[in-house]
Amino acid sequence: MRKTLSRLSLFVVVFTFLTGLVGGQISQAQEPEFERGTVTSGETFVAEASGSALVHGVSETGLYIVRLSEPALASYRGGVSGLAPTSPEVTGKAKLDTSSPDVLAYISYLTQKQAEFVSTVEQSLGRQMEVVYNYVGVLNGLAIRASYEEANEIATLPGVAAVYGDTLRELNTDVGPIHIGAPAIWNGDTGSGFATRGEGIVIGIIDSGINFFHPSFYAMDGGGYIHTNPYGDGVFKGWCATHAGYCNNKLIAAYNFFTPGQPPVDTDGHGSHTASTAGGNAHTASFSIGTTDYNIPIQGVAPRANIVAYKVCDPGCPGSASIASVNSAILDDQVDVLNYSISGSDFPWTDPVEL
């Protein structure tokens, strides 16, 4: 299981994705060195020329993720003339302010550099490239449609840090809030005078989509609490910006990065499950098993948080779509916390989603 929640104001934080920590407590881990061309931990490393970047694995989707050498928005510490640092570690801000002039200037810089790189690739390969995703948030790179042989050639170009074959991941399950002690937070046992149920927090769910019409995601919960939309009353993003009747002031945005242009409806149930576990409304679930009726009060870890849903699985989960979700969460959606209940590799140093 991989669960990512980072900065849930006064909340229990389980597992980490954005902070770069990986599931099983790796202390003082250093990126190991390899000989180019060796096979290690199930990953295939290929480099055609000495000093070139590595191609990590063969794509399962036809896409290759190209990571460029210049730092992404979240990690840029300065060094380019005329461009101030944007990393919160340097600026001292709690999160990226994507509307600030410094951030916008560096986004423009990276966007221009990526356009120049695409031109270089097209000249090298002698054909027009299909760029499916551009990333600038936590990874500076692109997802492009290419053959394995072309990926090897791209890896030799200047400015390329690494090239990754896009992989399909599997959905994982989750555990209930009671197992992590959430009720103690809700009841104020760990401190007083704080909002302890997720008020003011936006949770992004990277998964299989969302059940838009489940009571876990209604604008008012079962106890009468009315959610506040941080974008403004009735303002929604993604699919909901142009399709009325899907989102509300609880579920404020939804995207389909698995099949862009299609509704991000959860046809699996896993995304709705993890979304309700992380931030589902307090309400009573009524159901029957055989001849026995049940009325069970349920709620998520942060029941008063807002939800943004990213569909990246159906049923497999391409890494390229997951990275696009993180990019959107940082740049466009004001997301504070990301939930990622999807499998991953055992080798984070060569996993673009982990990076």
Domains in the chain, number: 2
Q: Which domain holds residue 279?
A: 177-350
Q: Which of 166, 201, 216 is the last residue of a domain?
A: 166
The β-bridge partners of 65 are 143, 164
In a domain, 234, yes or no: yes
- Three-state DSSP class for 143? strand
Residue pLDDT tens, the chain, 355 long: 444 433 333 333 333 333 333 333 333 333 334 333 333 333 333 333 333 568 999 999 999 999 999 999 999 999 999 999 999 999 999 889 999 999 999 999 999 999 999 999 999 999 999 999 999 999 999 999 999 999 999 999 999 999 999 999 988 654 466 667 777 887 777 777 778 899 999 999 999 999 999 999 999 999 999 999 999 999 999 999 999 999 999 999 999 999 999 999 999 999 999 999 999 999 999 999 999 999 999 999 999 999 999 999 999 999 999 999 999 999 999 999 999 999 988 888 888 998 7
In a domain, 32, yes or no: no
Query: What's the 3-state SS for 330-355?
Result: HHCCCCCEEEECECCCCCHHHCCCCC
Q: What is the DSSP letter of 60?
A: S
Domain with residue 155: its CATH number is 3.30.70.80
Do 242 and 132 share a domain, yes or no?
A: no
Q: In what order do the strands lie in the sheet with 306-311?
A: 237-238, 251-256, 306-311, 202-207, 337-340
Could you tell me the two tokens for 289? 């098993």
Global pTM value? 0.77
Rounded Cα distance between 153 and 331, Å, is 31
Rounded Cα distance between 202 and 183, Å, is 20
* Terminal Cα-to-Cα distance of the chain (whole angstroms): 18
Q: Which of 166, 188, 210 is the last residue of a domain?
A: 166
